Amino acid sequence: MAIVPGSDERKLKSSLSLAADCLVYDLEDGVAHNRKNIAREMVFDALEASEHRKAEKAVRINAVGSGLEFDDLNVVLRSSRLQAIVIPKVQSAKDVQFVSQMVDSVAPFITRKNVRIIASIESALGVMNLKEIATSDPRVDALVFAAEDYCADLGLTRTREGTEMLYGRSAIVTAAHAYGLQAIDLVCMDYKNDDILREECEFGRRMGFLGKQAVHPRQLEIIQRCFLPTDQEIARAADISEGYQEHSKRGVGAFNYNGKVIDLPVVKWAEKILSRARQGGVTIPSPEERQKILGSTSTTIAAGGAANGSKDSPALTA
């Protein structure tokens, strides 16, 4: 999710060649107040020059209640190539519903049903109202965590470890997964420090985020690589999925894989890993390839029972 300043003509043009999953043309923080009007037209032109087969195109408008959002929406919603609206500083369901109503009123009839809403959570109140925001409108597709505004709102001191934001991030991930939405993690402001970026990506993925915001093109490759499952995770997930299928045929619900009990919750984890890998264009390795990836820790699941090398499938009791 690459954020592009809406008043910078050079960056708008170069953004069309970025390998981002989603381009967010920014009309909010990245645009000076005296450039808002021209930025709206520049973003509209950038949308019209884009192609659907490339990155998803979104626009971050100014916050609902700022006095600028109405003009933002009246301009950018006219583009038939707009695919999503990012609403900053969302604090209640009303913020989302206002934008959705504007989509119905302004967007071209043939494309309005496809315009999604991405809600950016940036305050304590936004976190407390996550359920009503996540369920406010069918167009809501993702929740974004905006760290800088969140820290300012709560008076937190930003650290490299980010423990001060753990509650907010966890709450957003939990709400997103509870209501079938995507969870997008914070921006790494140290855009020249690859180590910090990699740390943030890996921690965010472990928390359950599915992606991350980028403020510079050089961040995109690391973000995309980090948010794909590793070769080891994919190999293990494929082993577990195939093992579960084999055991299910015999009516066995839990089995042994490398000395660990594998039951349905673990299988669900494995299926999510495989789904994300396929969505990222990764080919699922064959059993032989998985043996090479996992090395000595790899265990082949026997079709007739437990994993090779174990005597029994574990029996689970309530």
Residues that are catalytic:
263
E strand or H helix that includes residue 57: strand 56-60
Distance CA 225, CA 12 (A): 24
CA dihedral of residues 73, 76, 78, 80 (deg, nearest 10): -130
Amino acid, res. 23: L
Distance CA 103, CA 116 (A): 9
Please answer whether residues 226 and 198 qualify as being in contact, where contact means their C-beta atoms are separated by less than 8 angstroms. Answer: yes
Tokens, residue 109: 């009839």
Distance CA 207, CA 199 (A): 12
In terms of DSSP bridges, do strands 140-145 and 116-121 run parallel, antiparallel, or are they unpaired? parallel
Helices (H) and strands (E) in the chain, counts: 14, 10
